[in-house]
Structure 1
């Protein structure tokens, strides 16, 4: 069976090769009356199943119901029919078939449609000058032929029928007029479309004039042409004027159109301009369009500040310079950037709002070189000439040179007189010695007396008990601490729990008078700190804590003084309760990254937030600004309740409701509110900002805020409206609460009492669950091997998440000038470069960075470098 089929196919292929492929029937020419049917046919021989295509005037005809008639096994016939022939069906027709990559075509045939004339060339609209002669053309054809044409101009017949094609000569018209033509043959009359003769006039003024900014000093103007006046526009004239009110007209600019747009430059930055346009055709110019006002964007200043001078005193260095003119500024002044070089190394640049800067610690600026540049939103301008700071200014040196010679001459005169006097005395002395004389009477003794600067005791007796009187602190602070002073002999210091900026935290055992005792944590000031001011700052923290009585605020156990041999001042020690579970930040990190990670329920996380909010609400009611609220400064007691701790940066407010930073302090940049970064102003609302960041730490289980954003970029990041991104596992209602804490307007942030109410509602919505879960004690060991850390231990981690925000701030009752802060900023400090942490006032000063690491033993990839800034004012 298979062999027979193969033989049959071979025979079929052989037959195709013998006979070949050819058309045995071609379509025939036809003349068809309009409305009748036309039918064309083709026959093809040599293919078993051909696909025959019909073509008309070079284009394929798409037939949906094409039929094939089999004449024999390799001979096929097909037809193309038009049921009702119209004039558009007239044309050249043929068949095609593809065979082995070659197109085989039939002979062509024509269908001619017999009926009323059809127009080959109809009248077109025409534009001409008034009274100027012109020609009109009309052509029509049959069949049947001949075809004659008759012209109509307006309502008047022009002449009689003339053979097609026909050209009508018109001597000219003064107004627009309509025209058309009629074509006649034996079958009837056809009427052409109606054309219009337009009279050319001046164009109308351009429309939709718009200005698009391309770059700082180049703009793009676009417009739409108005009525062209029936004549193509050739050029347009652009007029630009500068200034508001009385304008200064700039030279006209002629541009070829189309396109109807133009890019031009040469404008000044940050200036008001107006533009208007007119267009021309061959008749004349259009009226000008209305003036369109626009404002060029800012650019970097074009000049450096002049008259850069300095004044140096024992306490501070004062820099001053002349403000730039508006044309030199090229924008709105954002800040002045001061760059300085010390010992061949560039230091961090400083930013100032005004053209004066006062920097404390004048001695550290000796031999430093300073330069200043003005900055706008677009960037900073050129640097001024460098100024070298010397102990005596150049002006003073020049003044003193005039007195040097006088001093030298006077000194020479004095030296001469002293020399003569000595010669006389030596001679007299020689005479007295020679003759046995003396200046004093016999038996008289000269008295000798001295005072010992330091005494020594080689027996090394026990150092006397230290009192507060030996510290040199003020009397008010001494009175507050007198009743909490604990003798040093009652303390036994143990292992170190953590290190901070000013000292360390150690485990200790405190004995009482009845020989009972308790484990405590002791904050010890660094032994190499000998300044009374540092000691007083440490004791102020204890004084604040003395009056704290709240379950969510760490209390004070007492204060002790460690006497050091051969040292004038003792080392103060602040005694605190021992927090069994360490700081909250370490606890959160261990839940994620410890050797045995464990789950912390959302109820417990919200309970942590509630504890902190209640503690901060208590502090705010006592007029205390914490200024360093963060998870690392919140401690977990044995009941897993959070206590707010570490009041080293706290300030008590005695008047008003704000505190302005005015001394050197180390501040945690990523927890500081926007207004504190800008103006060094701290309020309870700035503590609310830090509470929002602490909420974010809790929800991310101890991640570092603003992952990927450097300290130097924080101010720029916040001023643009960016905020911390919603953590992946954080519900939207919790994120809305923390995001409300970061409103750029302080008065729009919630109070701590309002935060407590919101968090209590969220906690109540969750299914009740034990707050103190056993799994939370995985970081505990036996009493002798506890891994908890006391106040001051800092541990952290870094995250790669990109910060973002999308929750709008709402606020009622704010001033108009504060509403702008609720909008996303336009990037005020974006283009300055260098250090954006602060834009300082005239009292701002140097900036430095401090990073502290805790000794908690965690691997490097989960360490949190506590990034601080020193602000010198």
Structure 2
């Protein structure tokens, strides 16, 4: 560039020129519309100039600009318009850039002569009947002058008038059309046609919807109807509360737009109806149709009243008044009774009615009880505590309360009963809780009483139990011998939870160095006396003995509790203490607890990663879990998830599957389709259960397949139905869980592939850089490429391409396996053809639910039901 400019400077100096200059500027033109116009500029002093044409301050970009050489450094250019129109009229000039400066030519005007063009066309008018209004029209030439003629309702109004023109209209009673004509020496132009609208009442609002219902607030949105040619100013909302009888609430007036309104202060779990009308300057519209909605449930606002008890040796009866509907704020789920004895809290009790009968009344002496009403959302306030005491003790307390009154009365009559008191002092009797004591003159005191209980504190301790006393097989006995812990080293604490086969208790284990470790102990129910049940419990412990992974719970040891007058001891499995309990309850408490808390998406994905890593470890050990669910995953103090509860686990010794051959209770809503059909279990059936567990995590502990009964699960799945995407669940996470539910096991991802996909998602939520997305090529067509994300769309096998003509199809499928896809996806109906149908599962479902006993949280969460699979 500098060399180019230097060359120009040298040329200028040698030619004796001091700088470039325009030797010709464009000249003014007056052109008839449709003819050609041509403007020219010439500049001297540059070897190869770039001459720019300007119009009204804007640069013109021309593809046919022509340069003519007049001399060595003298150039001329032209700008041509082949068919001049009104928009070509304006001011034109040329410019050249030289050494950072702009050199401009003189300017010229192109004036276009033709029919008039409109500067202001008449606009639509909205008015009341008979009210005068004005219409305006303006047009210009050249050539001038321009005259305007008005047409209203198909009739000429007056004669031509100079432009611009204003037409005064005295008023109309009906809607009419109008336009104007503009005329000059070249011809006539016609404006757009406008309409005079008569203002009217608006139409009723449409599409009234309840956009959001949250606690005691509701957000309404609606679409306005036809506005009657007048802007809507306000809308009025009318509401009725339907509680047996219709109660009208105060109207609410809303300024619009926007056409929405949030209404608060509503009652929980109540039915409402709403309708809306809107106003313009003419008046109100008709009402919209009634729209019904119901507010969500909430916790009760009051505690049960009139809490009383009746105590006998056989039972304790508790009664309280039922809550009124306006106090309950929802459907009564249960009454929760909590009680303490000796300063220690006991397991809470649940009752459907407002009366409770507890067997063994004597064990409740000096216990304190409180009751609370519970809905699906949670429990309300607690009643005032009552202390359970025998009737005699209550009577004694009442007597002591009146003692002082009696003493004052006695002082008033002391002089009258002095002799009687003297006699009573000599022959006094005393009532005790053990009987009567009476001392006649001259005799020794006699004490009579009846003992309520007797205890032998000097009885011999039971001998330490050994594995030989269990009657289990020698292989299992040898495997557990080195983890047997004497019972005397364990101190059991309060109960953490109960299940079908036993309970879990907090405990303290004395170590070899005399330190104490807090542990959890699984204790088999004391009424289980079968060696096979005990052996099943100990098999679970034997599995866990060999586990060494941060995401799989590890066995500490086993212990045997010897029972008096019982042949078999009770096995106790000693496990690490998990501070935050099971994952399912933790998720429920985040949503329904007394103090709900928020779980970030990153933490939820971390839970999934922990479980996937634990399951990958188990699959590498040839272990199939068969009962993977959020309830069987535990959270330690570091919020790390550990896979637990191996009661249904099986070691695969040959092949890659296990076939269930006996009657077992299995969690139907977590079982894979092939397991329901043929009782075949593989690591891929564990992948199916992992997908359901992912759904539980994203749904914050909700029960899978809401509204679908256990007996309907197989038919539901074979039709191609699957769990729906939970609210607030990102699509890429749902794609991963959906890939786990392919009806063909080999098309499901492995646990290692699931780990890779979840790690990618987790990294995307952290400050770490995102991984580059993988590209997969459709091998069926060389031109087609498919970019896959994390999940089913990337192909369930991660690095393999999938044809998506039928859902879950993957590379390497056999023809009979594709039939599964056709039947389960419903594609057979769409594609046609004679496809093999899958015979129904060999399973008789009894639908009996397994209910937990560890408090309201288990009852509220609609405990996952198991069914019996008969083979």
CA gap 1:157/1:371 in 2 versus in 1, 3 angstroms: same
Deviation at 1:134, TM superposition (A): 1.6
- Partners of 2:193 and 2:659 in 1: how far apart? 70
CA gap 1:215/1:801 in 2 versus in 1, 3 angstroms: closer
- 2:225 is the alignment partner of 1:226: yes
Deviation at 1:210, TM superposition (A): 1.3
Q: Which residue of 2 aligns with 1:499?
A: 484
What is the DSSP-based 3-state SS (H/G/I as helix, E as strand, rest coil) of the residue aligned with 1:243? Answer: strand
Matched-pair contact (CA < 8 Å) for 2:340–2:368: yes
Deviation at 1:399, TM superposition (A): 3.9
- Partners of 2:280 and 2:227 in 1: how far apart? 7
Matched-pair contact (CA < 8 Å) for 2:217–2:265: yes
- Partners of 1:156 and 1:174 in 2: how far apart? 16
Q: Which residue of 2 aligns with 1:545?
A: 531
Matched-pair contact (CA < 8 Å) for 2:581–2:634: no
Question: Which is further off, 120-129 or 336-345?
Answer: 336-345
Spell out, residue by residue over 1:52-76, the C-alpha distance to the aligned partner (whole angstroms, 9 max, x if none): 5444344443434445555667665
TM-score normalized with structure 2 length: 0.53
Q: Which residue of 1 aligns with 2:249?
A: 250
Q: Which residue of 2 aligns with 1:283?
A: 282
Deviation at 1:161, TM superposition (A): 1.5
- 2:111 is the alignment partner of 1:152: no
Deviation at 1:366, TM superposition (A): 7.5
Deviation at 1:276, TM superposition (A): 1.1
- Partners of 1:737 and 1:37 in 2: how far apart? 94
- Partners of 2:364 and 2:315 in 1: how far apart? 9
Matched-pair contact (CA < 8 Å) for 1:150–1:158: yes
Q: How does 1:503-514 map to 2 (within 5 A)?
A: none
Deviation at 1:33, TM superposition (A): 0.9
Matched-pair contact (CA < 8 Å) for 1:584–1:634: no
**Stretches of structure 1 lacking an aligned partner (at least 5 in a row):** 427-452, 457-462, 472-480, 486-491, 506-525, 527-535, 557-575, 595-629, 636-645, 651-667, 674-693, 719-723, 764-799, 828-838, 849-873
After superposition, the CA RMSD in angstroms is: 6.7
Q: Which residue of 2 aligns with 1:699?
A: 619
Q: Which residue of 2 aligns with 1:27?
A: 26
CA gap 1:49/1:152 in 2 versus in 1, 3 angstroms: same
**Stretches of structure 2 lacking an aligned partner (at least 5 in a row):** 411-419, 430-437, 444-455, 491-508, 510-522, 559-567, 573-579, 586-613, 686-692, 728-848, 859-871
- Partners of 2:200 and 2:458 in 1: how far apart? 115
- Partners of 1:288 and 1:370 in 2: how far apart? 54
CA gap 1:697/1:179 in 2 versus in 1, 3 angstroms: same
- Partners of 1:378 and 1:310 in 2: how far apart? 28
Q: How does 1:6-155 map to 2 (within 5 A)?
A: 8=7, 11=10, 19=18, 23-43=22-42, 52-69=51-68, 77-96=76-95, 105-155=104-154
Spell out, residue by residue over 1:502-560, the C-alpha distance to the aligned partner (whole angstroms, 9 max, x if none): 6899xxxxxxxxxxxxxxxxxxxx9xxxxxxxxx999976x6338x9xxxx9699xxxx
What is the DSSP-based 3-state SS (H/G/I as helix, E as strand, rest coil) of the residue aligned with 2:202? Answer: coil
Q: Which residue of 2 aligns with 1:170?
A: 169
- Partners of 1:631 and 1:4 in 2: how far apart? 81
- Partners of 2:292 and 2:339 in 1: how far apart? 42
CA gap 1:761/1:423 in 2 versus in 1, 3 angstroms: closer
Matched-pair contact (CA < 8 Å) for 2:548–2:554: no
What is the DSSP-based 3-state SS (H/G/I as helix, E as strand, rest coil) of the residue aligned with 2:214? Answer: coil
- Partners of 2:857 and 2:366 in 1: how far apart? 19
Matched-pair contact (CA < 8 Å) for 1:31–1:112: yes
- 2:680 is the alignment partner of 1:758: yes
Considering only CA atoms, is the larger Rg found in Structure 1 or Structure 2?
Answer: 1
Deviation at 1:288, TM superposition (A): 0.9
- Partners of 1:159 and 1:198 in 2: how far apart? 22
Matched-pair contact (CA < 8 Å) for 2:479–2:542: no
Matched-pair contact (CA < 8 Å) for 1:357–1:845: no
TM-score normalized with structure 1 length: 0.52
- Partners of 1:278 and 1:259 in 2: how far apart? 14
Higher relative contact order (CA 8 A, sep 6+): 1
CA gap 1:493/1:633 in 2 versus in 1, 3 angstroms: closer
Q: Which residue of 2 aligns with 1:416?
A: 426
- Partners of 2:551 and 2:369 in 1: how far apart? 47
Aligned residues: 595
- Partners of 2:329 and 2:15 in 1: how far apart? 87
What is the DSSP-based 3-state SS (H/G/I as helix, E as strand, rest coil) of the residue aligned with 1:497? Answer: helix
- Partners of 1:180 and 1:9 in 2: how far apart? 62
Matched-pair contact (CA < 8 Å) for 2:298–2:378: yes
Matched-pair contact (CA < 8 Å) for 1:117–1:140: yes
What is the DSSP-based 3-state SS (H/G/I as helix, E as strand, rest coil) of the residue aligned with 2:530? Answer: helix
- Partners of 1:593 and 1:221 in 2: how far apart? 47
Q: How does 1:585-624 map to 2 (within 5 A)?
A: 585-587=544-546, 589=548
Q: Which residue of 2 aligns with 1:780?
A: none
- Partners of 1:736 and 1:117 in 2: how far apart? 92
1:583 equivalent among 536, 542, 561: 542
Matched-pair contact (CA < 8 Å) for 1:28–1:110: yes
What is the DSSP-based 3-state SS (H/G/I as helix, E as strand, rest coil) of the residue aligned with 2:157? Answer: strand
